[in-house]
Amino acid sequence: MTDVCRWDVPGRVNLIGEHLDYNGGPVLPLAIDRSVTVKARARDDGAVNVWSDLAGASKVSFAVTVQPGDVDGWASYVAGTIWALLDRGHAVPGADLVLESRLPSGAGLSSSAATTCGVASAIGDLFDLGLDRTEVALVAQHAEAGFVGAPVGLMDQLAVLHGTEAHGVLIDTAVTPHTTTSVELGWEADGLVLAVIATGAHHALADGEYAARREECERAAAELGLEWLAQAGLDATVMLADETLKARTRHVLTETARVRGALTAVNRRAWPQLGTILTASHASLRDDFEVSCPELDVAVEAALEAGALGARMTGGGFGGSAIALVAPEKVQALREKVEARYALHQWTRPEVFVVHAADGAHRAGPDGARLDA
Ligand code: GAF
């Protein structure tokens, strides 16, 4: 039991393996060097107060007995985590929480998983709840699915909890609990970087569309008599009558193969090959899974024209961010090209920045110095 604590939790980008984490497929995200900080102080009166440095955010207060529907907006991720902790049998006497974010929110870089995992970890610390990282991930997922209303998989939570510097997190979502393996990402030593293009786009349909994709995949798996769609054989698309289900299944199968190909490319440091696979993933997400949007497509096209080895949307889609594997000396040209394209369309100016694979969630001292190994 401690009176105060601080947790720093990074965001993530997904290198490859999109919309596979609820289909029993492999995914390969990385935690990034932009994070959310959660500072927590214990209370014993059943109250939770939350302050955030998000623009326009004011203090939000609720009781630990908060229920879905009671809190909305950014604070629903915090309230949802408190609700999920109690719903999974953990006692929460109360807390004051301060959130500070260096992750652009709504950019599809998992500020939500960073927040839910940070709040669960901090509350676990304050009251000695004995939460291991698997339980923190499950609490965080339950908060999003049961309180916020987004039926997400576990990729983002596991990425932000298990990331390590210069490594990706290979997650096998076919087994319970999901296993994680650290994969060295050597592109920086070979003179390349991963650039993020935060499009600034958020499409209102997104939330319902994510749930719809998940439901279509579950329907396709049921028709094929499978537990997980990623287990389907290559003939699966022939066996399905519905054209939409065929296309969704095609994405899941080809994306699963692309993750395997990407792992081989990473291990061999075959960067042009990895780039080709990233770009193919984008085409599949655009055409077969239909989760891209014009802003993401233009970002990918412009990145490739600027000399990126490969580029793709990352995360759930319908807005958010794209990633590009590119030489550092081409990042400025890439930025200018994407900005010029966006200006032509009269879209909001995108943000382009380089990310590095970073350590996952950790305790920190008041000055931000890491406290545990
Ligand atoms: C979102 C979800 F939260 C993840 O679980 C995953 O499904 C991803 O979209 C798509 O790969 O980030």
Known catalytic residue: 132? no
User: To the nearest 10°, the Cα dihedral for 339, 317, 109, 346?
Assistant: 20
Q: How far is the CA of 1 from the centre of ligand 1 (A)?
A: 34
Helix, strand, coil percentages, rounded to 5, for the chain? 40, 25, 35
Cβ neighbours for 12, distance < 8 A, ≥ 6 positions apart: 29, 30, 31, 32, 109, 110, 113, 156, 159, 160, 163
* pLDDT at residue 205 is higher than 70: no
Which of 8, 21, 125, 156 is catalytic? The answer is 156
pLDDT in tens, 264-276: 999 999 999 999 9
pLDDT digits (tens, 9 = 90+) for 306-316: 999 999 999 99
Mean pLDDT (the chain, rounded): 95
For residue 326, the model assigns a pLDDT of 98
**What is each CA distance from 178 to 12, 17, 36, 170, 215, in whole angstroms?**
18, 15, 24, 10, 21
Confidence of residue 206 (pLDDT cuts 50, 70, 90): low
| Closest ligand 1 atom, residue 210 Cα | 9
Close Cβ partners of 270 (under 8 Å, ≥ 6 residues apart): 264
Please state whether the predicted TM-score (pTM) of the whole model is above 0.90: yes
Section 182-197 average pLDDT: 98
Q: Which two tokens stand for residue 69?
A: 């529907």
Output the pLDDT for position 204. 55
Q: Which residue owns the Cα nearest ligand 1 atom 7? A: 19
Two structure tokens written together for 110:
């998992």
pLDDT of 105 reads 74
DSSP state of 81: H
Specify the pLDDT at position 202. Answer: 84
Nearest to 363 by CA among 350, 354, 372, 352: 372
Q: Are strands 4-16 and 319-326 parallel, antiparallel or unpaired?
A: unpaired
- Please tell me the distance between residue 281's alpha carbon and the centre of ligand 1 in angstroms: 15
Q: What is the mean pLDDT of residues 211-221?
A: 97
- % of residues, the chain, pLDDT over 90: 91
- Predicted pLDDT of residue 56: 77
User: Which secondary structure element, helix H or strand E, spans residue 20, and what is its range?
Assistant: none
Confidence of residue 55 (pLDDT cuts 50, 70, 90): confident
Check whether 207 has a pLDDT greater than 80: no
Cα angle, residue 111 at apex, residues 110 and 112 outer, rounded to 5°: 85
Which atom of ligand 1 is nearest to 155's Cα? Answer: 5
The C-alpha atoms of residue 269 and residue 307 are separated, in whole angstroms, by 18
CB 191 within 8 A of CB 328: yes
Q: Give distance in angstroms: CA of 49 to centre of ligand 1.
A: 29
Index of the ligand 1 atom closest to the CA of residue 316: 9
Q: How remote is the C-alpha of 208 from its chain's centroid?
A: 17
User: How would you label 186-214 residue by residue, b for 16+ Cβ within 10 Å and e otherwise?
Assistant: ebeeeebbbbbbbbbbeeeebeebbeebb
- Pocket of ligand 1, beta carbon within 6 A: 14, 18-19, 21-22, 152-153, 155-156, 315-316
Closest Cα to atom 9 of ligand 1 = 316
Question: For 354, phi and psi rounded to 5 degrees?
Answer: -90, 140
φ/ψ of 184, rounded to 5, equals: -65, 130
Give me ligand 1 centre to Cα 21, in Å.
7
Per-residue pLDDT of 356-369, as tens digits, reads 999 999 999 988 89
Closest-lying ligand 1 atom to the alpha carbon of residue 20: 11
27 CA distance to ligand 1 middle (Å): 10
Question: d(Cα 209, Cα 147) in Å, to the nearest integer?
Answer: 18
Q: What percent of the chain stands above pLDDT 70?
A: 98
- Averaged pLDDT for residues 3-29: 97
Average pLDDT over residues 219-246: 94
Size of the chain, expressed as the number of residues it contains: 373
What distance in angstroms lies between residue 42's CA and the mean position of ligand 1's atoms?
Answer: 32
Q: What is the ipTM of this complex?
A: 0.99
Domains parsed from the chain with CATH numbers: 4-183 (3.30.230.10), 184-355 (3.30.70.890)
Ligand 1 mutation pick, 155, 173, 313, max ligand atoms within 8 A of CB: 155
Stretch 95-124: mean pLDDT, rounded? 94
Query: Among 18, 27, 103, 152, which residue has the most ligand 1 atoms within 8 Å of its CB, making it the best to mutate?
Result: 152
Q: Where are the alpha helices (DSSP H) in 269-358?
A: 271-287, 294-305, 331-345
Range from 62-66, 103-107, 120-124, 155-159 carrying the lowest mean pLDDT: 103-107
**What is the average pLDDT across 36-50?**
97
